Amino acid sequence: MTTNGYEPAAISTFLSVADSWLLAHALAYGCIVVTHEIASDSVKKVKIPNACIGLGVRFMNPFEMLRVEKAKFILGAA
């Protein structure tokens, strides 16, 4: 495992929360991760986009996902 300069506490925290499982699932099944987080140069916290980049997993924000999926929100009576 490569640390990419992250502090040991940052790696430990990342591996102990659901984010690591989310990325493992996306990597194993070829999924795209949707997240509000943005990549960061901080070594104190591993952000999901940084981990995705490191693992070669595609990611996007929720607004991009809604555009890709052509989501429609219709208000009013049906």
- Residues 64 and 23: their CA atoms lie apart, in Å, by 19
Residue 59 lies in a domain: yes
Question: What total number of domains does the chain contain?
Answer: 1
Q: Name the DSSP class of 60.
A: E
pLDDT value at residue 3: 75
Residue 43 lies in a domain: yes
Residue 72 lies in a domain: no
pTM of the model: 0.85
30-72 pLDDT, tens digit each:
999 999 999 999 999 999 999 999 999 999 999 999 999 999 9
Two tokens, residue 69: 């999926």
Which of 63, 76, 17, 58 has its CA nearest to residue 36? 63
Mapped onto helix, strand or coil, the DSSP state of residue 67 is: helix
